[in-house]
Amino acid sequence: MQRTALRRIAATTVALAALGAGALATAGSASAATGKNGVLETGEFGLYYNSNQGGAVFDLFLSDANFINDYFAGPGNGAGQNVNDNTASYKNRDSNTWWVYTNADAGGIEGSIPAGYSGNASTTFKNEISSAYYYKAR
C-alpha cells in the first residue's frame, strides 16, 4: 500500500513538472511589442523623423513624459537624432488613442492620435512634440 502511494506521488510530481515546463516553453513564444527599438510593431505608437512616416522612427509601447534623452532608432534619415521637438509624422498601431504634448510632462498644447491613424504633424505639432501618453494625461 505504501509503495503504491509513493508511486502515485512520484507520478504526480513528474506530471506537474512536465506541465510546468510546457507552460514555461509556451510563455516565451508569445510576442510582445518592444518600445524604442526602431521598429513600429502592433500595439505601439510611432513618431517619425520625416513626413509621410519616413526616416527613422521613435516607437513607444509605454508613455514617455520627456523626450529630452530619447533618440530615433532604426534605419533611415534621422537615426540617432534627438526626438524632442524633432518629429514630422506619426503612426498609431495601438488600440488606444495616444496623446501628444508640445512640452514635457504633458505641458503645452495637447493633441490626440486615434487608434490606427497615421499622418503628418500639423504646423502646431511639427518639430514641437516633447511627450506622449497612451492616455489623456491632463
- pLDDT per position as a tens digit, 44-95: 999 999 999 999 999 999 999 999 999 999 889 999 999 999 999 999 999 9
Summarised one tens digit per residue, pLDDT across range 98-109 is 999 999 999 999
Residue 20 covered by a domain: yes
Instruction: Give the number of domains in the chain.
Output: 2
What are the residues whose beta carbons fall under 8 Å from the beta carbon of 128, sequence distance 6 or more? 85, 102, 108, 109, 121
Residue 40 covered by a domain: no
CA angle 63, 91, 86 (to 5 degrees): 70
Domain that holds residue 7: 1-30
Find out whether 134 and 63 touch, Cβ atoms under 8 Å. yes
Question: Which of 124, 92, 89, 88 lies closest to 108, judged by CA?
Answer: 124
